[in-house]
Amino acid sequence: MELGNNFQAYKPAFKKDTGLDANANMALYISYFNARASDNAMQLTAQIYQIIDRSDGQHVRDMQAINKAIRELHELIKTKK
pLDDT tens figures, 3-38: 566 788 889 999 999 999 999 999 999 999 999 888
**So where are the chain's domains?**
11-79
Q: What is the pTM of this model?
A: 0.59
Residues 70, 72, 74, CA angle at the centre, nearest 5°?
70
pLDDT higher for 53 or 25? 25
Percent of the chain with pLDDT over 70: 84
Question: Do the Cβ atoms of 22 and 11 come closer than 8 Å?
Answer: yes
Question: Do the Cβ atoms of 13 and 6 come closer than 8 Å?
Answer: no
Q: What is the DSSP code string of the chain?
A: ------TTTTHHHHHHHHSS-TTTTHHHHHHHHHHHHHHHHHHHHHHHHHHHH--SSHHHHHHHHHHHHHHHHHHHHHHT-
